[in-house]
A and B are shown apart, each in its own frame.
Chain A
Amino acid sequence: MTTSHDPAFSPDIAWCPGCGNFAIREAVRQALEELHLEPWQVVFVSGIGQAAKLPQYMPCNLFDVLHGRALVTATGVKLANSRLTVIAEGGDADMYAEGANHLMHAMRKNVNITCLVHNNQVFGLTKGQFSPTSESGFRTGTSPQGSAEPAFNPLAFGVALEAGLVARGFAGDIPRLKELIIAAIRHEGFSLLDILQPCVTFNKVNTFKWYQSRVYNLSDTPGYDPHDKAQAFARSLEWGTRIPCGIIYRNDRPALDRQLPQLHDQPLVDQPVPADKFRALIERFR
């Protein structure tokens, strides 16, 4: 039985040939390497779905948890040991459907974790239902007349909630995606990286070509300041013929773990239990 660090580790990757997950995996691998992070220093918390399988195929610590709950579990990991680099990974169903409530509050709290969302605008592993980021009119087995709802906009959501870093990447551009992943991990606060990727099996609308012809890089836009909330909000609403990629918004307010006095001196997991104070605590009831 090999572990992921073993050179002989060659997992049977359960992704379709041509899946955008392969590119994302490569970008993640490169980012971690460039950051000089050893596998033992990184924790992935994954939800459920094809996207969430990414950490199965990488050397890393991993807590494979429930559908939609990766963010809240990851928050617990980070608060317990802030030395770990914590990455929550999942697809658009995980983060924007089942886990949307947790996304909202993780952004508010500005927990210092990185949220990588593989956004292919469809449910993959359950075979092709529409997702919160499917555009309205998208026809699937559960929306035979076309989805009635407009697509959820995670970037605008993040800007509204003043998440620490709100960004979008594209699986078709590994070098830039790698840079974004690095920026997201480096940022001290909640980082949302919404990664557009094609689902070759179930999404015949938002294909690789479809994205390729629409995405553009904000870094190529002179004078764009991601700290400008109004500008970021306007940019986050851009979709359709032009889709901005890059860091949309940045907010340098302090991360949750920095605000808790309990965590000022050392990680919670390293703190000894103050048993010498127990007796006094009990006596307060006398």
Chain B
Amino acid sequence: MAVDITFRIGGAAGQGMQVISYSLGKMLARGGYYAFATQDVMSRIRGGHNFANVRVSDRPVYAQHGRCDVLVALDGRTIDEHRHELNEHAVIVHEKKLSPTGLEGHTVLAVPLEELATRFGADARMSNSVALGAVLCLAGYPLEPLLSVLKDEFSRKGNDVVSRNQACARGGYDFARHSFKKTCPCTLTALKSPESRLFMSGAEAVGLSAILSGLQFYAGYPMSPSTPILEYLASKGLEHGILVRQTEDEISAINMALGASWAGCRAMTGSAGGGFSLMVEGLSLAGMTETPIVIALCSRPGPATGLATRQAQADLLFACHAGHGEFSRVIFAPGTAEQAIYATNQAFDISEEYEVPAILLLDQHLNDSYWTLGPIDESRLMRQRYRADAADLAPYAYKRYAPASSSASPLLRPGTPNQLRYDDSDEHTEEGHITESAEIRRAMVGKRLGKAADISLELARPDCGPGEPARTVVLCFGSTYGVAREAVDNLSREGASISLMHLNEIMPFPREAVLARLAKTHRITTIEGNATAQLARLVTTETRLKIADSILKYDGRPFSIEEAERELEKQA
């Protein structure tokens, strides 16, 4: 690709890395570029070291390079932490007060960020806007688009805050224009007729899709990295007629959502792995009573509290087997924000149609990163309503679980005139009443487990990319998609026979499709963010295919493109 620039911005928590990366990315997405912004955040509110990456390209990008082209350092620690990640022609912009050493050979611009922020914005915290302005100038990009984004970003805090931030951005821009006389090795030109794209975080994509899918009730308890879903929906709740409740804990969240669903609403809940751990009994309840619900499981490193703000993909097998007893569930594992939109929508659709719990297996990298999307294809969104009315029923003739031979019985709203709705968490008859009968038990187990076969018919196949499977096929799930896709494409372009299969639907497992595709493959490997090769284990269990050594990462960070390529090359 012609344009591929990585900005890396670092500072202490509270210095606004998220605002900088979001603003920069948003501006570029509006400008017709593809921007991909990721966060590396410590579990604290002030201090420590956080950094963000913003990668810009003229083609869709969903992964980060290990190295960067522009390093923006709001504090000294940033330079120490990232000095070995600089590309040959990298540019460093830093707070002038720091006097970093050892940057010979690089293009450096020292900007008195705090001083300018105080002068133009009357607030030293606006250093981030100053830095943005300076960086834009270096890159040769016009200032106006940034001013427009800053206006949108800060308008809710009032005109004064907006204009002060804009003034800071201009101050930084002008400073760079006057002080920087060299040529910047990386430039970004404003595109003539830019195709404006959407820019949002993975969490926002999930929330947005839920709204578009007719969500009516969301309950949750704050837990990184699921909290942004809760907050996004809360901010839109009144406007869209969605009741959003922060509950006292995660047990209440899932049970309250199940209550709302039982009473007739499309309902959802979400948490991280640890909160999901507390939802397991509720999940089993959903499976037994056949109550639709969508659960956003946002993975992060564990066990227990683990690393609260970091990345992992280690809840796959937990999600597959969570819950005592046996029941059907659907699990989606989207790889990008765009995929998350359609996956969330499909989760609601399948959950409602087949009366099963649907799990969206997300993670910190997906949720917290900002992605560029094309327009949402509304024709792909499913909006069918499945809940029944009592039109053809004689009074009090409704039987919740009749017939037992059907994988999903009509779901009537409780409070329907002249009908009663019984759902029992004990084993139950077709009417919904408690039973101890062995025969009815067998029928009901068959009904609950039989849903999987019907659901399989509706799900798409795994994403295998164009062409025939190569000699080596790399399997991945969830947000590793972006980095795996790019690494495989790079290696393929260099002549390797390698292709990618992304499993965005985990359960029911697409056994036939995977077997058909891989049965004759010479070598299969997986790339995943956990320590025990969970995807490999799942695929082997389901298909008996042998999987060569998996590429694993479990240090709390997502793969970089360099890492993925290096590991894949090693295996070849």
A and B in contact, CB less than 8 Å:
yes
* Known A14-B48, A16-B45: A123·B238 in contact at CB below 8 Å: no
The 8 closest A-B pairs by CB, nearest first: A14-B44, A126-B222, A141-B231, A16-B46, A142-B246, A98-B249, A97-B248, A142-B234
Stretch at the interface among A127-135, A209-217, A231-239: A127-135
Q: Name the interface residues of A78-111: CB closer than 8 Å to any CB of B.
A: 93, 97-98, 100
Least CB distance, A130 to chain B, in whole angstroms:
7
Within the assembled complex, what's the spacing in Å between the Cα atoms of A67 and B272? 13
Least CB distance, A163 to chain B, in whole angstroms:
20
B227 at the interface (CB under 8 A from A): yes
Within the assembled complex, what's the spacing in Å between the Cα atoms of A12 and B12? 12
Q: Is the CB of B43 within 8 A of A14?
A: yes
Given A126-B223, A129-B222, A142-B244, 17 new contacts (CB under 8 A): A12-B48, A13-B47, A14-B44, A15-B45, A15-B47, A16-B14, A17-B46, A64-B305, A67-B274, A67-B305, A98-B248, A123-B222, A126-B224, A141-B235, A142-B230, A143-B246, A144-B238
- Chain A interfacial residues counted at CB < 8 A: 31
Q: Name the interface residues of B14-31: CB closer than 8 Å to any CB of A.
A: 14
Least CB distance, A32 to chain B, in whole angstroms:
25
A-B contact pairs, 22 of them (CB 8 A): A14-B42, A14-B43, A14-B45, A16-B14, A50-B44, A67-B274, A93-B222, A97-B249, A124-B45, A125-B308, A126-B222, A126-B224, A127-B45, A127-B222, A129-B222, A129-B231, A130-B246, A132-B248, A142-B234, A144-B234, A144-B238, A201-B45
B391 at the interface (CB under 8 A from A): no
B457 at the interface (CB under 8 A from A): no
Least CB distance, B120 to chain A, in whole angstroms:
24
Within the assembled complex, what's the spacing in Å between the Cα atoms of A67 and B246? 16
Contact string against B for A residues 55-68, beta-carbon threshold 8 Å, 1 for contact and 0 otherwise: 00000000011111
Q: Is the CB of B44 within 8 A of A66?
A: no
Q: Name the interface residues of A109-123: CB closer than 8 Å to any CB of B.
A: 123
Within the assembled complex, what's the spacing in Å between the Cα atoms of A67 and B42? 18
What residues on B are CB-neighbors of A123 within 8 Å? 222
B76 at the interface (CB under 8 A from A): no
Q: Is the CB of A50 within 8 A of B234?
A: no
A271 at the interface (CB under 8 A from B): no
What residues on B are CB-neighbors of A74 within 8 Å? none
Within the assembled complex, what's the spacing in Å between the Cα atoms of A64 and B235? 34
Binding site for B on A (CB under 8 A): 12-17, 48, 50, 64-68, 93, 97-98, 100, 123-127, 129-130, 132, 141-145, 201
Size category of the B interface is 20 to 34
Which of A16, A93, A144 is in CB contact (< 8 Å) with B235? A144
- Would you call the interface of chain A mostly helix, strand, loop, or mixed? loop
The listed residue with most B CB atoms (<10 A of its CB), out of A66, A142, A201, is A142
Least CB distance, B546 to chain A, in whole angstroms:
39
What residues on B are CB-neighbors of A15 within 8 Å? 44-47
* Known A123-B222, A130-B246, A142-B244: A14·B231 in contact at CB below 8 Å: no
* Known A132-B248, A142-B244, A143-B246: A201·B231 in contact at CB below 8 Å: no
Within the assembled complex, what's the spacing in Å between the Cα atoms of A15 and B42? 12
Q: Is the CB of A12 within 8 A of B47?
A: yes
What residues on B are CB-neighbors of A97 within 8 Å? 221, 248-249
